[in-house]
Amino acid sequence: MSSLTFTLIQSNLHWENKAANIKMWEEKIVSIKEKTEIVVLPEMFSTGFSMKPESFAEKMDGPTVEWMKKISAQQKIILTGSLIIEEEGKHYNRLLWVLPNGQTGTYDKRHLFAYAAEDQFYTPGLKRLIASVKGWKINLQVCYDLRFPVWARQQPTPNPSQEGKLDPEYDILIYVANWPERRNIAWKSLLRARAIENQCYVIGVNRVGNDGNQIYHSGDSMVIDPPGEILYHKEHDEDIFTITLSKDRLEKVRNKFPFWKDADEFNILT
């Protein structure tokens, strides 16, 4: 069975300062000593959770996207995280999945955080992004999406090589976030719930420190295995952590306890 290696970077951010953030992220990525395949940055990694898209949005050929492509190719990694993108006059909190060859997948945050007026400045996405790497399937989501389990729910899919056989839809669920410390019980509890109910690995990458509104973020970035065991958890401090996930471990859990097969069938209407 294959393995897949991730590096999670939990960091403070320079509030609404793209240049300072990009410089910081590049230094941190280049400093990674371990061999890694996928590097995960938090939500709105170039600005912090800003409600000023008209000031900080860029297009898909803008400097931050080009930087992601450059560093991905240079370090031979897949790089992911979300930033503010403008497209056809609309603004999106868009997660990018950038491959070393320059190919880029995108996911626009579906659930916008109305409590902070995100829904007044950004347009919600309409479809999920499930990436494929070395035989692994990875469901990519953003922050507030975590509170809505139907959007992440496994939907068993037909196996293309074995008629009548169903497979889980994905193997890993990633959340990139700017999740405040005052609600970190929900963050930590729901990450574990998503892993248990979907019988998958879950990776949550959050920021630390105060943002420009003096809202404190405790980080609490985590990696959780399919039965809900916490493989990594870091609170308050900046950290760069590399972990290798085992497909064999995943398959053993799913085969021994095939709960995913008993799930309800459903369709999501958008």
What DSSP string describes the chain?
--EEEEEEEE----TT-HHHHHHHHHHHHHT--S--SEEE--TTTTT-S-S-HHHH-B-TTSHHHHHHHHHHHHHT-EEEEEEEEEETTEEEEEEEEE-TTS-EEEEE-SS--GGGTHHHH-PPP-S-EEEEETTEEEEEEEGGGGG-HHHH----EE-TTSTT-EE-S-SEEEEE----GGGHHHHHHHHHHHHHHHTSEEEEE--EEE-TT--EEEEEEEEE-TTS-EEEEEESS-EEEEEEEEHHHHHHHHHHS-GGGGPPP-----
Which one of the listed residues 18, 37, 69, 109 is annotated catalytic? 109
* 143: annotated active-site residue: yes
pTM of the full structure = 0.96
43 in active site:
yes
User: According to the model, what pLDDT value does residue 269 have?
Assistant: 80
Instruction: Please report whether residue 205 resides in a domain.
Output: yes
Cβ atoms of 12 and 207 closer than 8 Å: yes
For residue 152, what are the domain limits? 3-262
Q: What angle do CA 245, 46, 89 make, to 5 degrees?
A: 110
Number of domains observed in the structure of the chain:
1
- List the CATH number of the domain containing 203: 3.60.110.10
pLDDT at 248: 95
Predicted confidence at residue 1, as pLDDT, reads 57
Is 270 inside a domain boundary?
A: no
In a domain, 63, yes or no: yes
Say if residues 132 and 116 touch (Cβ distance below 8 Å): no
Indicate which residue of 143, 181, 188, 200 is catalytic: 143
Non-local (6+) Cβ contacts of 260 within 8 A are 154, 156, 168, 198, 199, 254
106 found inside a domain: yes
Number of Cβ within a 10 Å radius of residue 147: 13
Query: Measured between alpha carbons, how far is residue 270 from residues 31, 87, 128, 146, 151 in Å?
Result: 42, 20, 11, 17, 11
Q: Within a domain: residue 269?
A: no
Whether 67 is in a domain gets the answer yes
Catalytic residue among 43, 118, 169, 181: 43
Q: How many CB atoms lie within 10 A of CB 217?
A: 26
What is the mean pLDDT of each successive set of 10 residues along the chain, which is 270 residues long? 93 98 98 97 98 98 98 98 97 98 98 97 97 97 98 87 84 98 98 97 98 97 97 98 97 93 84
- Tell me if 268 is assigned to some domain: no
**CA 152, 102, 10, 62 torsion: positive or negative?**
negative
The verdict on whether 27 is a catalytic residue reads no
* Spatial contact of 195 and 202, defined as CB atoms under 8 Å apart: yes
**204 forms bridges with which residues in the sheet?**
175, 222
Residue 96 lies in a domain: yes
